[in-house]
Structures are given as structure tokens and as C-alpha cells.
Homo-oligomer: A and B are copies of this chain.
Amino acid sequence: MDLPKRVVIVGGGFAGLTCARALRGANLDIKLIDRRNFHLFQPLLYQVASGALSPGDISAPLRSVLRHQKNVQVLMGEVTGFDPAGRRVTLADGDVPYDTLVVAAGAESHYFGNHEWEAFAPGLKTIEEATEIRRRIFEAFEHAEREPDETMRRAWLRFVVVGGGPTGVELAGAISEIARDTLKDDFRSIHPEEAEILLLEGETRVLPPFPPDLSDRAERALIGLGVRSRTGVRVTKIDENGVVMATSEGERRIDAHTVIWAAGVRANSLGKLLAEALGASTDRGGRVVVNPDLTVTGHPNVFVIGDLAHCIGDDGKPLPGVAPVAMQQGRYVARNLICRLDAVAPGDFRYRDKGTLATIGRNAAVADFGRIHMDGFLAWLAWLFIHLLYVVGFRNRVLVALQWGFQYLTFNRGARLITGVVQPVRPEARPELSTARPGED
């Protein structure tokens, strides 16, 4: 084994999996390490959180995706350290040697030092978090149905999404559709459509990464869906009873039992471990700074890609942590490795921005294709088409399409299970349950 053939890829997300697949047929001995046994299609995770899709529909078992690619071995394991001198990755239960290392460990929710908020406002990065958010959303309506006190009931029917980026907008729109359409006829004591959905954003407009005109159109679409967005506000506290936000008029408390965090992400903790081991610099979000060829300075055999990498784009700004960047970086590293095998000099990585989309709800989305800005039904169709195209696996594509079809026609969401910890819906005792909806029967 004289040629540097052992490639270890850490992470089976968009970056790592794309890299492994692009190395199909290469004369390499590849190991793909992930904590989980599946690739997760994160852009649709909010649809699991809102009961529209099942976890299995947006997950593809890594082994299944790579089953016929004989140069790849998938290892399920937790990376605990890097030893660049010994060229080994340390797992919780053993070492894996490498000649070339590709780290694509991804991002996690960032609470900016307020870890205690996580319990009251979960983020949306894993399947478990998605089903937990789903539980909280649907359980809130159950609590409201059984709550005789008007003020308390209102707090159960108030939903706060912190962060007005694409994930926050998608979640707020989905919760609104749940309240107005999905649950319309389901309750007897409450009117779910009276739910208030608040979207809080620190910048002066929602969807800050988009051009201002598209932010405006998104805001109008949100209003149409009944979502109230507050921009230019800063959250200063989150507890079990709600959120305190600082506005230009001072602090204000919002009583709400369901709060979801979509305000920020940072590099996975492996980023810090890796940077320390390599002597690399990181940015404020913990991302590892990489060279134009995505290697780390002083370590030409270590690549960092995806949400974990701080990579400067053509406009001098760091590239965003989105799937297209991750996939293009994965493909670039694969090409780079094949060039090296053939002793050809590889060029630098260049990101080709094909556009950005964000969906707001039924028939509503915004799309930024550089000079062309779109919104409404056409943008929504584009969003639908592109997301279906990139869902991994034919089976998942059909299942997602079918369930979207059902949902579009019936307004129903089939996967609205409350699972996990089942708590008594109302801990406080009370003599008798109200029967009739006010003003009915």
C-alpha cells in the first residue's frame, strides 16, 4: 500500500455522502464514518416537525445508498478526536487510520451562550428534535382543548418561532397551516384557527440572506397565512412560560408554551477538536478556515467541507451553510482526490450559486435566481420540484410526492403523532371538563 489510498470521510450529510458517491469506481479504500445509520435530508426536516412527513421518508440508510459501491465501507461510530501526526481518527471504540481525511461533520443549533434555553426552545437539526417539536406543537392544542382558563388557553395557542431565516419562516408557515387547515374540525372546545404564530427576527427584515424585495414578498405571504412577524427584536430570555424580547420600546414578555429555536447554527463540536489538533483557525461560529482547495493550511491531506468549513466565496464573504455548497464541495474533493491519483494538478474550489429558495406555505415561496426574483405559485412549484429531485432514493421521492399530493388535496397531515415522553396533558387538578365550544350547542 504505497499510494495514499486510505480515505476517511467523517459525516454522511450532503457534503460527506456526495463526496463518497463521487468517488465511485476510484481506486481508493474509503471509510465513511457517521454516528447515525442514515443520511438525513435536512431541508425537509421542518415537514417532520409539522407532521407532514414521517422521519423515514426523508432519511436514506447510508449502507443502502452505498451498498453497490464496493470501495466504500460505512462505519457507524462516534468520532472523539483527530491525530494528524499519526494519521488516525479516534472513535469512541477504536482508531481508524487514513492517508486522506475529509471532515464534514455539519452544524448544530447555536444558543449564543444561553444553553438553558434549549430545554424550552428546541432547535431543528435531528430527527429526535423534529419529533419533539412535533410533539410540542400538537400537544399544545390538546392542552388548550382541556384548559378552562382563557389566559392559560391563549398561552397554549401561542407559538413563537425565534429566527426569521428560511427554517423559521417555513416552520411559522407550517404551524399556521396546521392551526387554520389541518386541525380546523378536530376540536370541540377551542377554535384552532385562533392560534397566534409569532416570528421573531433580529435583523430588520425576514429572510435576511435574500434580496430585500423577496423579504417583502415573504412577509406579505406570512401575513396572508396569519403569521405575525416582529423584526429588529432581540430575545433576552426564554423559559417555560414564554419569551422576553427587547424591542426599541423596551422589554416585552410573550406568554407562550411552545417556542422553537431557528435563530442560529454553529459548527459541530468536532470542528473545535479538529482545529485544535491541526492548529487551524476557526471563525466565530466555530467553522474551520480552509484554503481555496478546501484543505487546512499545513495539512494538504485534510479537507474540511460542508457546514463545518469557513470557505470564502467569490464575493469575499463566507459561503452559506446550505446543501448546494456542501454538495459542490463534496464533488470537488472527490475530483481533487482523483486528480491526485493521476498526478494531475487540481484547480481551486469555486461555488456556482444556482439560486436560493424558501417556502412559506401552500402555493407560497420565494426564489432568488440572481437577476430573476420569483414568488407565489411558480416559486413554490420550483421549490417542490427541486426538493423532490434531491431527496435521496426513488422510494422516498415517491412517498414524499404522494404525501404532498394528499396534503394539498385534503389539508390533512398524516404523521401528526405525539410520541416520546407522554405527560399528563394538564397537571393542575380541576373539577370538571368543559363540554361545549363557546357559542355552540
Contacts and interface: CB of A to CB of B under 8 A. Distances in A.
Interface of A: 29, 31, 35-38, 54-57, 59, 61, 63-64, 67-68, 73-78, 91-97, 127-128, 138-139, 142, 145-146, 183, 185-189, 393, 395-396, 398-399, 402-403, 406, 410, 412, 414-420, 422, 424-433, 435
A77 B422 CA distance: 10
Nearest to A415: B56
Given A56-B414, A63-B183, A128-B419, 4 more contacts: A29-B435, A75-B146, A91-B424, A94-B430
A37 B417 contact: yes
Given A35-B422, A37-B138, A94 B128 contact: no
Contact of A429 (B55, B93, B428, B429): B93
Given A93-B426, A94-B430, A399-B402, A188 B73 contact: yes
A420 B128 contact: yes
Nearest to A6: B435
A431 B76 CA distance: 17
6 contacts: A31-B433, A55-B417, A64-B186, A77-B425, A93-B427, A94-B426
A67 B418 CA distance: 17
A433 B63 contact: no
Quick one: which of A56, A78, A127, A399 has the most chain B CB within 10 A?
A56
A56 B399 CA distance: 12
Nearest to A95: B432
Number of copies of this kind of chain in the complex: 2
Contact of A417 (B56, B77, B96): B56
Quick one: which of A187, A188, A402 has the most chain B CB within 10 A?
A188
A416 B36 CA distance: 11
Nearest to A143: B76
A417 B75 CA distance: 15
A94 B412 contact: no
B127 A94 contact: no
Contacts of A406: 395, 398
B186 A422 contact: no
Contacts of A186: 61, 63-64, 67, 74
A214 B398 CA distance: 38
A42 B185 CA distance: 26
Contacts of A63: 183, 186-187
Given A54-B56, A63-B186, A95-B432, A412 B395 contact: yes
Q: Which 8 A-B pairs have the closest CB atoms?
A: A56-B415, A54-B54, A92-B424, A93-B426, A63-B186, A54-B56, A67-B185, A73-B188
Contact of A75 (B38, B61, B145): B145
Contacts of A422: 35-36, 78
Contact of A419 (B91, B127, B395): B127
A269 to B, nearest CB: 15
Given A63-B187, A94-B432, A97-B432, A36 B418 contact: yes
Given A93-B427, A418-B37, A142 B185 contact: no
